[in-house]
Amino acid sequence: MAPEVEKSDKEWKSQLSPEQYKVLRKAGTEAPWSGQHVHNHDDGTYRCAGCGAVLFDSATKFESGSGWPSFYEPAVADAVELVQDRAHGMLRTEVRCRKCGGHLGHVFDDGPQPTGQRFCMNSLALEFEPKT
């Protein structure tokens, strides 16, 4: 499915920091424990740093011990797109923002109930909006 928000590489590079560009547009990964949202426990909403789409609610965030912010489900079911990822010699499920196609991280089946999923996201791909 084609993303709703389409920009040229030049436009993405002008909008995002080099680190955000590497994660969102080139499917990079930030170092574990380095992200600004790993230890955030405030109430609010996590949005895509590329397009502002609502992705996750703080009520679904949990401490996974992985070094990346983790959630057990998206705020809206169709906010993300799941894509098979065979990079680095392993089979994983990549999570992308459905609106702009930006790489967010990966989802694993070792999370808590009620879903059993762990959406392991890069802080660089997210912007936090505190609840007012």
Whether 120 is a known active-site residue: answer yes
Residue 87 lies in a domain: yes
Of 59, 49, 45, 58, the residue nearest 105 (C-alpha): 49
The owner of tokens 């959406």 is 119
Residue 101 within a domain: yes
Please report whether residue 112 resides in a domain: yes
Q: Is residue 23 part of a domain?
A: yes
Residue 3 belongs to a domain? no
pLDDT at position 89 is: 83
Per cent of the chain over pLDDT 90 is: 89
In a domain, 2, yes or no: no
pTM of this prediction exceeds 0.75: yes
- Structural domains of the chain, count: 1
* Residue 102, domain CATH: 2.170.150.20
Look up the domain containing 103 and give its range.
9-130
pLDDT digits (tens, 9 = 90+) for 93-127: 999 999 999 999 999 999 999 999 999 999 999 99
Per-residue pLDDT, 1 = 64
Q: Which sign does the torsion angle of CA 6, 7, 9, 14 carry?
A: negative
Residue 120's Cα: distance from chain center in Å?
7
